Amino acid sequence: MEDIDNEPDEYSGPSKSQLKREMTDLQRLGAELVTLSKDRLAKINMPERLRDALLDAQRFTKHEAIRRQMQYIGKIMRDVDAAPLRAALDEISGVSKAATVRQHQLERLRTHLMEDETAFSDLARDYPAADIQHLRQLRRNAIKDAAQNKPPRAYRELFRELRELQEQPGREDEVGTGAS
């Protein structure tokens, strides 16, 4: 007689349902990426093919064209490591703790600059490329706006300038408050 193997089938990888869930998650991630502006997309490290597909999806207006493009984006994303993309999206949306910490540090730095003009010397030391004169002008304008009960336009602009300084390439360390 023949020897018949009665052992159960070996594990052959994730189930079809699991694979479908993973592909749907990738499509959702792609849909979130499509909602970003071109500038934000440019800051995220991703393959050029994916970036082009995302920009194409933003151009489309017809429902069926968008649906097909989203499926295409999901297909491209199968070959891309989604973890860095998810982390970048979390950072942009402010979900990550690191982004929240940086936000609070920038707010403390702005408050410190508003209270003490000598803090600009620390800022100049930490950020040699900073336009200190422009930042001082924003501080003066913010103080003037507050005294006249105007909207805090210059105060917000000061924050934006500080954030741009922090995001400059080569600046990996965190922003300090200057008051240790």
Question: 125: which 2 tokens?
Answer: 């030391």
Question: 94: which 2 tokens?
Answer: 């402010």
pLDDT at 171 over 60: no
Mean pLDDT of 138-159: 90
Listed by start position, the domains of the chain span 16-93, 97-166
1-41 tens-digit pLDDT: 555 555 556 767 788 888 888 888 888 888 889 988 888 88
CATH architecture assignment, domain 16-93: Orthogonal Bundle (1.10)
Q: Tell me if domain 16-93 and domain 97-166 are identical in fold.
A: yes
Query: What is residue 3's predicted lDDT score, i.e. its pLDDT?
Result: 53
Choice between 137 and 179, residue whose per-residue pLDDT is larger: 137
User: What's the one-letter identity of residue 172?
Assistant: E
Enter the pTM of the model: 0.49
Question: 58: which 2 tokens?
Answer: 């933003």
For residues 81, 83, 85 and 88, what is the CA-based torsion angle, rounded to 10 degrees?
-150
Reported as a pLDDT band with limits 50, 70 and 90, residue 172 is very low
CATH architecture assignment, domain 97-166: Orthogonal Bundle (1.10)
77-97 tens-digit pLDDT: 888 888 888 888 887 776 667
Query: What is residue 65's predicted lDDT score, i.e. its pLDDT?
Result: 92
Query: What is residue 6's predicted lDDT score, i.e. its pLDDT?
Result: 56
Question: 62: which 2 tokens?
Answer: 């017809």
